[in-house]
Amino acid sequence: VTVAIEISTNNPVKVIMGEKANLNVSYVSKNLPHVTWALADTFASWTVGQGPPPMVSPVFDGRLTINTSTASITILRTTLADSRNYTVSLTAVDEALSSQKVTLRVYELISEVHVTVPVDDVKEGDSKTTVICTMTSGNWDTLSWTKDGRTIVGDAHMVIAMCLSLFIC
């Protein structure tokens, strides 16, 4: 019975656009594994601890550093286009191929956030009031509203809707 290499990663990886993204991999293997990183196609390949220098595709055009003593990579000067699912695969003599997905999320800083309440439209007893949050740039995974430091949670009396646009829904 052939045993597979055990792989663990720091997943997901979240960074601000322009920063470096460390896609760290640790593994358990009896032998030095051959490492392959891929998107749709392989973009980096090397055998841990051995020469020659790793094969690197021009896809990252000088923005990729490889730690040849491990299976880890670092993407420099990240862009929004780098937000993807990467696959790292390791294989070694007498061990089955193992692969794992690593999700990289690159965020643009949120800027110029404005919260507005249409005061003229708010009347006591109204069944609906709209509070609008806009921003000129940025992206997020989650959005939460707070009052007095406590998260506002939707219930039977309150509906919280999130706009998927950067401007008013």
pLDDT tens track for 83-131: 999 999 999 999 999 999 999 999 988 777 777 777 776 677 776 777 7
| Per-residue pLDDT band at 3 (split at 50, 70, 90) | confident
**pLDDT, tens only, 135-169:** 777 766 667 777 788 887 777 766 776 654 434 43
Question: What per-residue confidence (pLDDT) applies to 33?
Answer: 95
Question: What per-residue confidence (pLDDT) applies to 141?
Answer: 65
| Per-residue pLDDT band at 9 (split at 50, 70, 90) | very high
Question: What per-residue confidence (pLDDT) applies to 164?
Answer: 45
**pLDDT, tens only, 12-34:** 999 999 999 999 999 999 999 99
Question: What per-residue confidence (pLDDT) applies to 121?
Answer: 67
Question: What per-residue confidence (pLDDT) applies to 92?
Answer: 94
Q: How far apart are CA 136 and CA 56, in angstroms?
A: 37
The DSSP bridge pattern shows strands 34-38 and 84-92 to be antiparallel
Question: What per-residue confidence (pLDDT) applies to 168?
Answer: 40
CB-based burial of residue 45 (10 Å sphere; 0-12 exposed, 13-18 middle, 19+ buried)? middle
Delimit the domains of the chain by residue range.
4-107, 114-164
Q: Are 154 and 161 in contact (CB under 8 A)?
A: no
Note the pTM of the prediction, 2 decimals: 0.73
Joined tokens for residue 24 = 């760290």
Give the CATH H-level superfamily of domain 4-107. Answer: Immunoglobulins (2.60.40.10)
* Span 41-59, average pLDDT: 88
Going by the DSSP 8-state scheme, the letter that residue 96 receives in this structure is E
Question: What per-residue confidence (pLDDT) applies to 111?
Answer: 77
**pLDDT, tens only, 31-41:** 999 999 999 89
3-state secondary structure of 37: strand
